[in-house]
Amino acid sequence: MSAALNGAEALCAALVEAGIEAVFGVPGTQTVPFYEALRRSGLRTITATQELAACFMAQGYFRASGRLAAVSTIPGPGFSFALAAVPEAYLDGAGLVLLTGAPPLCPRGRRRSQAIDQAAMARPVIKAVIDATSAACIKDAVRRACRLARHGEPGPVLLQVATGALTESMSCDMPAPDAEVAEQSYETKIDDAAVKFCAAAKRPFFYVGQGALDAVVELRRAVEALGAVVATTPSGRGALPEDDERVLPLDATGDVDAVNGIIAACDVVVVLGAALSEAGTLGFRLKLPPERLVRVDVSTAVLALPPQARYSVQSTSRAFLQALLAQLHKDGSAPRGFDRAQAQQLRARLQDRRCGGPSDARIGGGTAKEFFTALRRAIPVDGYLVVDSGMHQLLARRHFIVLQPRSLLFPTDFQSMAFALPAAIGVKLARPQAPVVALLGDGGFAISGMELRTAVAHRLALPVIVLADGALGLIRLEQLLTHGHAYATELSPFDYAAMADAVGCAYAHATGADIETHVRAAFDRSSPTLIAVAVGDAPALRHALQRRRLHRMLRAMLGERLLQTARKLRGRS
């Protein structure tokens, strides 16, 4: 005779069976049975300060490791708070399972507490909504949710568990029904003509996205065999080390005109695992010629997006590159593509026109480039830098050299503030032996700073660097350059040392040049370290504002003189 389980215990067992090891969330009244089952399940449970951060933690966990985590919320307010972070996962291809209670049913004409249409709210930013209407449905629902979240282009899946299902008894061996959920096909369909077209390239260009990061070994072999040059989307950075002469630092420089000139001279352009979004094409300014374009992606939905290609291949990047390498082996080892000297010349065309510009803020007592060069020395090759949305992200993308796949993580296509600290916690929990650094501005820290308590609770050796300029820096910069003044973007002074003391973590004030020393010391501690660094305006910004004031003064003076002249002319007539 089989022992009886309740729905909460069945849910935990199903999560373990599906390969999930961690559950992020905030307990509530409706999830008390689930958390009791978690206590005895062996699953790691991480209680965040709030559900928004829990969802970002799960995203960092997946983006660093490729392993799914679950996010647990109560229905209604807990679900709604977590939902604000879901679009980031949806647009950035981060798999997670959002576990929540089904909203309470409302008798006609009555309003139940916390009753909202969660499925309708989530559908635009979710891969699927799956309902477990009873304890017997839970195992199959979890299996389906995890499969959908992982496969194809990864993303978030909402799993709603009906009221009462968590406490409902069931037999361990009770068969689970097969829920009806539409699933997209992700079969590999290698096109021989596309492979031969790429193998015959004389001047090949590879554009690599996040979807190709599981195929970096095959990518390097194909690039070297073809003599190709490579650029990446923001999420694809590190597919090849960025100090390699064949890698064109497009995201770092933003010099899309130079890259477009290189693409125009190439006879084959191969896009691997990239949706070619606005962020991935520098505002759709990247010119990818359809007659020379080969697109490879597991998702037919991605391949259906513009631009059209000569060949659209539904395949993993690894399978396609393996087929390409086999074709190159068959064709022989004749000299191909660009030699090293030519690749270096192409790389030299990309000049960072933004370096030293109004956005290149001073960090501590030195330049942004000096700061990120020191930070790069401090973080080992196998480490991670997790960045928020804001001015500091632009500086990190410009100056931090990425040497490994997924080692620079930031919100890409949704650009959520408050991402970095909780996502870094997720990364550190997924990769406990790897060095992880969180980098954020003081605006992002104002939203997410209390998650230091979560890092302290789990004794994470996590350096948390706050670049503090006392403002919402990027918006302030736009205001100054557009209007000559800032408004509603200044932040009140904040005592970071007192904050660190209050949550029980170490604190350091860095001057910028000493960031390497502080980060290395933080790695050696058994709890997080809050590191504050003062940020000042770029000299070029001050010069730009002086020029602006001068121009306004001259326009005012000349305008008055022209008005006086016009009055004299009217008087004579």
Outline where DSSP puts E strands in 138-228. 156-161, 169-171, 204-208
Tell me: pLDDT of 193 over 70: yes
Residues 6+ apart with CB under 8 A from 220: 240
- CA–chain centroid gap for 472, Å, is 20
Dihedral-angle region of residue 305 (phi above 0 means left; psi in -120 to 50 means alpha; beta otherwise): beta
User: Considering Cα of 303, then 210, then 411, then 102, what sign does the dihedral take?
Assistant: positive
| CA angle 314–232–95, rounded 5-degree value | 60
pLDDT, position 306: 93
Question: What's phi and psi for 510, nearest 5 deg?
Answer: -105, 145
- Between 46 and 115, the more confident residue is 46
Task: State the helix-helix crossing angle for 7-17 and 138-150, rounded to 10 degrees.
Answer: 30
Continuous H helices in 304-415 = 317-331, 340-349, 368-378, 391-399
- Tens digit of pLDDT for each residue in 482-525? 898 999 999 999 999 999 999 999 999 999 889 999 999 999 99
Residue 102, pLDDT above cutoff 80: yes
Output the DSSP codes for 455-511: HHHTT---EEEEEE-SB-HHHHHHHHHHHSS--S-B-----HHHHHHHHT-EEEEE-
* Cβ atoms of residues 336 and 225 within 8 Å: yes
Has residue 419 got a pLDDT over 50?
yes
pLDDT attached to residue 105: 73
pTM to 2 decimal places = 0.91
Q: Where on the phi/psi map is residue 568: left (φ > 0), alpha (ψ -120 to 50), or beta?
A: alpha
What gap in Å lies between CA 244 and CA 124, rounded to an integer?
A: 40
